[in-house]
Amino acid sequence: MQFLFRYANPHNFMRLSGVVLPFTAIGTLLCLGIGLYLGFSAPPDYQQGRTVLMMFIHVPAATTAMNVYGAIAVCSLLSLVWRHPLSDTAARAAAPLGALFTLLGLITGSLWGKPMWGTYWVWDARLTSFLLLLFIYLGYIALWNAIEDEVRAARAAAILALIGAVNIPIIYFSVEWWNTLHQGEGIVSGGTAPVFLKPLLLMMGGYFLLFLTLWMVRIRTAILERRARNLMQAGAR
C-alpha cells in the first residue's frame, strides 16, 4: 500500500511511467508478434479446424476486459476509502480501454460462434453477463461525463464501479453455475493443447502489456491536461 501512495503524486507517476513506457511498448510488440506467428503457424484443431485461430484474439480480449474492470474497481476502492490522489484519474482512463476490449471479445466470440454453434449469438449465461459488462463500462463512462463537478462525478462513478464488480465473478463462474453452450476454462485445467497454449499465453501477455501501455499514456495525458488547465486559470487571474 505504501508503494501505491508513493506514486500517487503526479510528479512521481510521470517520472516512473516515463521510464516504464518504452519497455511495456516493446514487450507488447514482441508478445503480440511472436504470439500471432506461433498461433497462425499452429495446426488446425481436430474439432474447431482453423476456427481455433479466433481463440488467440478472443480469449485475451475477454480476460483483459475483466482484468481492466478489476483494476477500475481497485482504483475506485482506493478513492473512496483511502482518497488515493491518482485513483480517480486512473480509473477513468482505464474505462474506455476496457470497453474496447469487451467489444472486441464480443465481436470475435460471435465470429467464432457462427461456425461452431451455427449462430452469431445465443442468450447464454457467459455471453449475456459479458454483454452486461459492456453496458456497465458504457454506463460508467457516461456517468463521468454527465456530472460537471469532478469530485461528485468521481464519487458516483466509484460507487457504480464497485457495484458493477459483482458481475465479474458471475462472468467467470457462469459456465459452472449454469448449463451453457460456452466451454469452460482450459488453461489451468489443462484442457488447452500445448501447441495452442504457448501462443495463447503470449497473446494474453501482449494484451495485458498493450493495456498497461495505453493506460499509462492516458493517465499521463490526463495529468498534463490538468496542469494545462491550472496554468490557464492562473493566467486568467
**Is residue 115 a contact partner of residue 51, using CB atoms and an 8 Å limit?**
yes
- 140-148's contacts with Cβ under 8 Å and 24+ in sequence apart are 140/72, 140/95, 140/164, 141/95, 141/96, 141/99, 144/92, 144/95
Residue 178 CB-density burial (10 A; 0-12 exposed, 13-18 middle, 19+ buried): middle
What is the pTM assigned to this prediction? 0.91
Any idea which of 56-60, 167-171, 229-233 has the lowest mean pLDDT?
A: 229-233
The answer to whether residue 27 is domain-embedded is no
The answer to whether residue 236 is domain-embedded is no
The answer to whether residue 10 is domain-embedded is no
The answer to whether residue 21 is domain-embedded is no
pLDDT on residue 1: 52
The answer to whether residue 217 is domain-embedded is yes
pLDDT on residue 83: 81
Answer whether residue 153 shows pLDDT above 90: yes
Q: How confident is the model at residue 231 (pLDDT cuts 50, 70, 90)?
A: confident
Answer whether residue 235 shows pLDDT above 70: no
The answer to whether residue 136 is domain-embedded is yes
Number of Cβ atoms within 10 Å of the Cβ of 137:
26
**Is residue 175 a contact partner of residue 182, using CB atoms and an 8 Å limit?**
yes
Q: How confident is the model at residue 139 (pLDDT cuts 50, 70, 90)?
A: very high
Q: How many domains is the chain partitioned into structurally?
A: 1
Number of Cβ atoms within 10 Å of the Cβ of 198:
15
- Domain boundaries, position 147: 57-229
Q: How confident is the model at residue 189 (pLDDT cuts 50, 70, 90)?
A: low
pLDDT on residue 230: 75
The answer to whether residue 107 is domain-embedded is yes
Residue 210 CB-density burial (10 A; 0-12 exposed, 13-18 middle, 19+ buried): buried
Distance (Å) of CA 160 to CA 94, 108, 164, 208: 15, 27, 6, 24
Answer whether residue 202 shows pLDDT above 70: yes
Q: What is the mean pLDDT of residues 191-204?
A: 86
Q: What percent of the chain has pLDDT over 70?
A: 89
Q: What is the mean pLDDT of residues 201-208?
A: 96
pLDDT on residue 183: 67
Q: How confident is the model at residue 184 (pLDDT cuts 50, 70, 90)?
A: low
Partnered with residue 49 across adjacent β-strands are 45
